[in-house]
Amino acid sequence: MIKMCVVGSGYVGLVAAACFAELGHDVTCVDNDSGRIGALERGDVPIHERFLPELLQRHRGKRLRFSSSLASSVQASEVVFIAVGTPPSESGETDLSYIEAVAREVGAVMATNASGYKVIVEKSTVPATTCEGIRRVMELNGASAASFEVASNPEFLREGTAVTDFLYPDRIVIGAEGPRCIALLQKIYEPLTSGAYYGLKEAIGEGAPAAPARLIVTSAKSAELIKHASNAFLAMKISFINAVAAICEGVGADIDQVRQGIGADSRIGSRFLNPGVGYGGSCFPKDIQAFRAVAQSAGYDFRLLEEVVRINDEQRRRFMAKLRSALWSLRGKRLGVLGLAFKGGTDDIRESQAVAIIQLLLKEGCSIAAYDPAAMEKSRSSGVFENQDVSFSSDAYAAARSADALLILTDWEEFAALDLARLRAELKYPILVDGRNLFRPESVTASGLIYVSMGRSEVPQKAAAIPGK
């Protein structure tokens, strides 16, 4: 059992704190937002994340506590994880001011209190060399160089599957130099790397993985780079398949067959090759800009990433063009929209392509009836559609009711299970424009709907005929 604190109770911080408690450690999750800390103490679960409510319930008040006092939490901890926000600045570079503020405060605590050796670990996604910056700031604020080490331990969790991503990782990356620091971090993850966790009766998830997690020890700079390069590579895979999907449409090939053929090569792999309206979320868009900035300052012009972003932006325009060809003019059209979140399984609408597309449709004079299984509350409270012609529906069928067409913008599993005949009966015109390829074209057209999707043969002639009615 290691005494630790996790600074930041956002997505990464809260999931990491709950999972570290699950691994048997004594954890304090710290945030300077005392309202949020109070809510967490009362039992609120601020994010929509599978298994998180169970973990918080299991450990709250026992191995997992919440605090708004950084000083006392740091003092009582051997390891301090930093998981505060790293938003982009105007120029696309990462704004490290929150990290710096934490480093300053931790340094000052360590200067005045001889509470022993500590390891400071950055978990937030940060540019290479941030570890060095943290070390410098801590020393400038009075921490003695011998009393601490700084390490990088990037997180690869995805929203929606964050808890199982944490507990069943492909790899754990530890970027650290000193043997004492490395040993401490190895010990933290030992229940996963030894596989002991998976033998526990109450373990979360579906039993032991084929192989326990691989631990990769690197320098801190390499670890920082691994995180940025991994996200950039995944985004590149998505833009690549979206470009191939566009070519499929041009030559009359089927993207499903093509990606199956590509993905079967184990050197490429089939995951993250789903075409759609483009990637979104709080990580990929921001991390790619940040990685470009890192490359730039290292003297390398990483233009490939510029192209990844361009293709991603292009997806929205391609989707709008499909809609126009299916509906002819957009002005005055009433559209049902399924999906607001940036992907299925989450209530997060940050950088959501669904939201961006709805905004384009509103500008064109459409009215929108939207449904999302989890993200409607955030869409309402964030005010993204304030004073706009957007209503929220109670379910997918209500969104389709009397609509000129139904659009799918988020890949929620439950959308793929919808009753197509019932949707057709609700719609004014039988048009389904699927930006996420949730259905096979044959099954949709068999139910009497005109189906427009991404990178597959469509029924454009019939679709073009509809709006003239």
Least Cα distance to 23 among 203, 157, 182, 165 occurs for 203
Site membership for ligand UGA, residue 198 (CB under 6 A): no
Return the residue of 238, 355, 356, 399 that touches ligand UGA, per CB under 6 A.
238
Report the residue from 31, 149, 159, 256 that binds ligand UGA according to the rule CB under 6 A: 159
Stretch near ligand UGA under the rule CB under 6 A, chosen from 81-89, 92-100, 153-161, 380-388: 153-161
Burial of 215 (0-12, 13-18, 19+ CB in 10 A): middle
Distance separating alpha carbons of residues 152 and 43, to the nearest angstrom: 30
Q: Which region, judged by CB under 6 A, interacts with ligand UGA, from 36-44, 154-162, 258-266, 357-365?
A: 154-162
What distance lies between CA 152 and its chain's CA centroid? Answer: 20
Site for ligand UGA in 304-343 (CB under 6 A): 342-343
Q: Give the number of other Cβ atoms within 10 Å of residue 293's Cβ.
A: 18
Q: How far is residue 373 from each of residues 80, 280, 356, 370, measured CA to CA in Å?
A: 36, 18, 18, 10
| Among 37-45, 184-192, 273-281, 394-402, the segment contacting ligand UGA (CB under 6 A) | 273-281
DSSP 88: B
* Position 281 contacts ligand UGA (CB under 6 A): yes
User: What is the x/- site pattern for ligand UGA, positions 115-144, by CB under 6 A?
Assistant: ----------x-------------------
Picking from 215, 263, 214, 212, the residue whose alpha carbon sits closest to that of residue 241 is 263
289: contact with ligand UGA by CB under 6 A: no
Q: Please tell me the distance from the alpha carbon of residue 438 to that of residue 169, in angstroms, as a whole number.
A: 27
**450 contacts 459 by C-beta, under 8 angstroms:** yes
Q: Quick one: 30 or 290, whose CB is closer to ligand UGA?
A: 290
Using CB under 6 A, which residues numbered 341 to 360 contact ligand UGA? 342-343
Residues 421 and 313: their CA atoms lie apart, in Å, by: 33
Q: Considering only residues 9, 77, 274, 289, which one is a binding residue for ligand UGA as defined by CB under 6 A?
A: 274
Using rule CB under 6 A, residue 361 touches ligand UGA: no
In 3D, which of 167, 153, 148 has the Cα closest to residue 6? Answer: 153
CB of 177 to ligand UGA, least distance (A): 24
Length of the chain: 469
435 part of the interface to ligand UGA, by CB under 6 A:
no
Q: Whose Cβ is closer to ligand UGA: residue 342's or residue 429's?
A: 342
Stretch that binds ligand UGA, among 96-104, 185-193, 271-279, 456-464 (CB under 6 A): 271-279
151: closest CA among 81, 209, 210, 199?
A: 81
Q: Does 86 bind ligand UGA (CB under 6 A)?
A: no
Where helices occur in 52-161 by DSSP H, the ranges are 52-59, 70-75, 97-112, 130-140
Contact between 158 and ligand UGA by CB under 6 A: the answer reads: yes
End-to-end distance of the chain based on CA atoms, in angstroms? 70
Applying CB under 6 A, which part among 2-10, 35-43, 267-275, 323-331 lies near ligand UGA?
Answer: 267-275
Enumerate the active-site residues.
283
| Ranges within 217-236 binding ligand UGA (CB under 6 A) | 231, 234
Strand runs labelled E in 295-409: 334-338, 367-371, 390-392, 405-408
Q: Is 276 in the site for ligand UGA (CB under 6 A)?
A: yes
245 binds ligand UGA (CB under 6 A): no
Contacting residues toward ligand UGA, per CB under 6 A = 125, 155-159, 231, 234, 238, 272-274, 276, 279-281, 283-284, 287, 342-343, 411
